[in-house]
Chain A
């Protein structure tokens, strides 16, 4: 292993920043000025000393395989601005020939290697299976009671007519959602809250409310008839209701995973940040969604720059059309992808979404790479049109509702065809990442 780890791009580094403030602070530290004794190793780590306001410089180490970070600064952000600055400097200039890590960095790096080689000991702990089973039965009974109550509520609403919903307001739904939380069915609670907001969401709300109400009803029916469902669908119903499956029983796929997109969304009450990372197996072609969560004020820990390829095992959770995965230890340092992923047309994109609904009828969208599409800006709504023919998908704004990503997409295209990754569903297509023809470096739209 004399070969040097492939350097990342500045965009990839900045994508790791936990928030806007660290992004700026990191960018300011991305010059040679405050740094000394910088270096990198062939096994994929970089280190350096950063002069701060104090007398001792901060010791910063990054293990590119995680990536994982260690810094002697007191910051609780992760990665801290020093790690970002170090990576930016490395991305811009490199640190010359790979070398041996100094003692202060080598200790931590060795610890990480040791940890990754240690077999997962915790999994072997004996469990009291009887007790676990009793707990599961009790919970299932509570959910069943909750589902009955929810069905009653839905039927009452339909009997009285949706027309009364705008007057009735949100409060009764919030109360129903709280009942679902009591019944230990967080998935149902979230759907009920969503349902309750629809009457205030503008024109066309009755149809949307009927759609979402009917799908909730479908989920209730699925739960009540769980025993009669084939296993994958039963697993989907369980996870949609809010019973987290045990990851241990999932299917394991080893592949080279290309990071297609990574974005955060914050729950309506602002208490939880969800980070979605979309992957695609370059060998298997299989999509994977890795979710990570951060409590208030702290971003999720997992940070994978768009455009990197990492060789790893992904363990897919049962149900939900086989999208949810957890990443195992990575085998080698991540490297940028050298080609544009293959894409499909708009028709195939919708077919893929339709096919996925067979396994999970509650899916809102499906990850799709569109090849050769032309963005069409419009005052009422944007479209992505096939370069050949006259089919198009309506564009749905990303979660934050920001249009700046769309303009970036238009700028890349200049009226010509581009490759776009995004989520394709009944609301339209949400573009997340784009590639300019002939350039494998992805542009994260945001």
Chain B
């Protein structure tokens, strides 16, 4: 057992020794004599030990409580109910298994993966309006400390008790900073002096969080706040603040952004231009449309011959990256920043799909630049019609896609589509091309996967098994499926876990591995279903 100086004797008082034993009096005297040694004073060591033994037992037997220090203020009451008993146990289990996952090395066996389930438990508990069970709040804060992706939900669930604890333990200070769950100690947006003071004195992260809160409350107030200190901010901070205006961008921000086009920093200018171009009504968008329309039309493509001062001021970067022609580079930037709505009139009233399908007269090289720029514009302006047109048919080979063959770019376009259409498109893609390229596309689909999408994924997995592949070639999709498949799919999957031995020429052992992988998937889905059922409020 270890002892610390602060807990031994010093904080407790003792009864006073009554008589001196063998010539020794108080305890301190005994310690002094023991330190020096009895040899110096012609004393008797056995007598000193006798006296010390009496004093030690007497002191211990006579211990009295110490005076209590200042008590912590009681935590504010959390009116939300605690989750039902089985759900509480489940959370404890998920939190306990948190650190274990992934440590098993190679094969994962047939048991469900608990780490994948924690975020879902937290989200579901949040939807039910529960608070975290008190005893689990420290473990929850630890989990949130380790995984930033869990923070917003973990902190919301921990609630007032979590903040109360975070104030007492420096390790959990992160919980007090806002932004994560809106749970911080930021002044309210109406508290003008509080906002003003934090804006002047706060740390960068606090200021970013403050700007976000103020902006959510009143968009214009945020740009007013920014203007007060804009000239004295460092360039990299100006860039970050500007970036935070992306959320809730409106036409009211235009004057501020216009002014930022004249900024000293090139990156700030570029970001301001990008934000302005996402506002189709802005003056910059108008200027860009004018330039783009001059270059592109039904007759063909004529890229700009030079990058003039006006273009530079509007954020066009003059120097192309290595390996790209400067005229194509400028063209791309103009088209990307022009509002997509300007093309209908230019192409005689055609819709996006028809415009995209038109041949480009001046040769294929411009076509690629033009379509890539349209893709970026569709994402920036969040235009579902153009996105859909540029994605093309899901079943067509990716290389022939009208917009782009890049999966990353296509995933971005997909994220602009409405949920239902997104799932349908990805389901069709999987039916046509299998799973090997679907991972990024699945990532942008909403959870749980809609019926058709889930079925397409399961069928494709089944097809891969029959083709004799090994399941770990699909571990990414499997992991996603454990998190995203609708638990209702478990029954259909169950039949696959005991599937036949497969054709004789399949890879040796593959069937057993597949059966195991499907078992794990089923187990995880069942566990998810149980988990969600456990969270349902009791009668």
Q: Mark B42-56, 1 if CB is under 8 A from A, else 0.
A: 000110111011011
Q: Mark A62-93, 1 if CB is under 8 A from B, else 0.
A: 00000000000000000000000000100111
State which of A159, A353, A411 has its C-beta within 8 Å of the C-beta of B63. Answer: A353
A214→B56 contact, CB < 8 A: yes
A29: chain B residues at CB < 8 Å are 111
Interface of B, secondary structure class, is helix
Give the residues from 269 to 314 in chain A that come closer than 8 angstroms, CB to CB, to chain B: none
Q: Mark A342-366, 1 if CB is under 8 A from B, else 0.
A: 0000110010011101100100100
Give the residues from 386 to 414 in chain A that come closer than 8 angstroms, CB to CB, to chain B: 386, 390-397, 399, 401, 404, 407-408, 410-412, 414
A206→B35 contact, CB < 8 A: yes
B35→A392 contact, CB < 8 A: no
Q: Mark B1-39, 1 if CB is under 8 A from A, else 0.
A: 111111111111000000000000001001100111111
Q: CB of A180 within 8 A of chain B?
A: no
A162→B34 contact, CB < 8 A: yes
CA distance A391 to B3 in the complex (A): 22
CA distance A368 to B522 in the complex (A): 48
Minimum-distance CB pairs A-B, first 5: A161-B37, A33-B523, A214-B52, A415-B74, A391-B65
B2→A358 contact, CB < 8 A: no
Which single residue of chain B is at the shortest CB-CB distance from A391? B65
Q: CB of B61 within 8 A of chain A?
A: yes
A380: chain B residues at CB < 8 Å are 6
A396→B7 contact, CB < 8 A: yes
Which single residue of chain A is at the shortest CB-CB distance from B27? A207
What's the interface size class on A, roughly?
Answer: 35 or more
Give the residues from 355 to 384 in chain A that come closer than 8 angstroms, CB to CB, to chain B: 355, 357-358, 361, 364, 374, 376-378, 380-381, 383
Shortest CB–CB separation between residue A55 and chain B, in angstroms? 10
B37→A160 contact, CB < 8 A: yes
Q: CB of B399 within 8 A of chain A?
A: no
A158→B37 contact, CB < 8 A: yes
A416→B74 contact, CB < 8 A: yes
CA distance A73 to B310 in the complex (A): 78
B74→A354 contact, CB < 8 A: no
Given contacts A158-B48, A397-B2, A414-B161, contact A426 B8 (CB under 8 A): yes
Shortest CB–CB separation between residue B418 and chain A, in angstroms? 36
A31: chain B residues at CB < 8 Å are 111-112, 523, 526-527, 530
State which of B36, B59, B135 has its C-beta within 8 Å of the C-beta of A411. Answer: B135
What's the interface size class on B, roughly?
Answer: 35 or more
State which of B72, B86, B93 has its C-beta within 8 Å of the C-beta of A27. Answer: B93
CA distance A10 to B89 in the complex (A): 6
Q: CB of A34 within 8 A of chain B?
A: yes
B68→A385 contact, CB < 8 A: yes
Q: CB of B64 within 8 A of chain A?
A: yes
Given A92-B90, A161-B40, A428-B7, 20 other A-B residues pairs in contact with their CB atoms under 8 A: A10-B89, A14-B96, A28-B114, A158-B45, A213-B52, A215-B56, A217-B49, A354-B61, A355-B61, A377-B169, A380-B6, A381-B7, A394-B12, A396-B4, A411-B135, A414-B74, A414-B161, A415-B75, A415-B164, A426-B9
B66→A158 contact, CB < 8 A: no
CA distance A378 to B11 in the complex (A): 13
Which single residue of chain B is at the shortest CB-CB distance from A209? B34
Which single residue of chain B is at the shortest CB-CB distance from A29? B111
B45→A208 contact, CB < 8 A: no
Q: CB of B100 within 8 A of chain A?
A: yes
Q: CB of B57 within 8 A of chain A?
A: yes
Q: Mark A18-42, 1 if CB is under 8 A from B, else 0.
A: 0000011001111111100000000
CA distance A206 to B29 in the complex (A): 12
Q: CB of A9 within 8 A of chain B?
A: yes
A151: chain B residues at CB < 8 Å are 46
A358: chain B residues at CB < 8 Å are 61
CA distance A365 to B519 in the complex (A): 51
CA distance A412 to B165 in the complex (A): 10
CA distance A346 to B67 in the complex (A): 11
B8→A217 contact, CB < 8 A: no
Q: CB of B70 within 8 A of chain A?
A: yes
Q: Mark A325-341, 1 if CB is under 8 A from B, else 0.
A: 00000000000000000
Give the residues from 81 to 125 in chain A that come closer than 8 angstroms, CB to CB, to chain B: 88, 91-93
B112: chain A residues at CB < 8 Å are 28, 31, 33
A404: chain B residues at CB < 8 Å are 138
Q: CB of A163 within 8 A of chain B?
A: yes
B65→A206 contact, CB < 8 A: no
State which of B40, B67, B72, B89 has its C-beta within 8 Å of the C-beta of A391. Answer: B67
A215→B45 contact, CB < 8 A: no
Given contacts A154-B49, A383-B66, A393-B65, contact A160 B96 (CB under 8 A): no
CA distance A136 to B96 in the complex (A): 50
State which of A155, A208, A392, A410 has its C-beta within 8 Å of the C-beta of B165. Answer: A410
Q: CB of A203 within 8 A of chain B?
A: yes
Which single residue of chain B is at the shortest CB-CB distance from A441? B85
Q: CB of B60 within 8 A of chain A?
A: yes
Q: CB of A443 within 8 A of chain B?
A: yes
Q: CB of A436 within 8 A of chain B?
A: yes
B71→A426 contact, CB < 8 A: no
Which single residue of chain A is at the shortest CB-CB distance from B62? A354
Which single residue of chain B is at the shortest CB-CB distance from A429? B7
Given contacts A163-B37, A358-B61, contact A399 B72 (CB under 8 A): no
Q: CB of A126 within 8 A of chain B?
A: no
Q: CB of B92 within 8 A of chain A?
A: yes
Given contacts A208-B8, A415-B74, A436-B135, contact A394 B52 (CB under 8 A): no
Q: CB of B134 within 8 A of chain A?
A: yes
Q: CB of A264 within 8 A of chain B?
A: no
Q: CB of B353 within 8 A of chain A?
A: no
CA distance A14 to B161 in the complex (A): 26
Given contacts A31-B523, A210-B30, A357-B57, contact A203 B74 (CB under 8 A): no
B31→A207 contact, CB < 8 A: yes
B27: chain A residues at CB < 8 Å are 207
A357→B7 contact, CB < 8 A: no
Shortest CB–CB separation between residue A237 and chain B, in angstroms? 13
Q: CB of B69 within 8 A of chain A?
A: yes
B109: chain A residues at CB < 8 Å are 28, 53
Shortest CB–CB separation between residue B244 and chain A, in angstroms? 34
Which single residue of chain A is at the shortest CB-CB distance from B46? A155
Which single residue of chain B is at the shortest CB-CB distance from A381? B6
Q: CB of B137 within 8 A of chain A?
A: yes
Q: CB of B306 within 8 A of chain A?
A: no
A213→B7 contact, CB < 8 A: no
B49→A394 contact, CB < 8 A: no
Query: What are 30 contact pairs spanning A and B, CB under 8 A?
Result: A10-B93, A28-B114, A30-B93, A33-B526, A93-B530, A158-B38, A161-B34, A162-B34, A162-B37, A163-B35, A203-B5, A204-B9, A214-B52, A217-B49, A347-B65, A364-B1, A374-B71, A377-B169, A380-B6, A383-B69, A385-B71, A391-B67, A393-B65, A394-B6, A404-B138, A407-B138, A411-B138, A426-B8, A426-B59, A443-B135
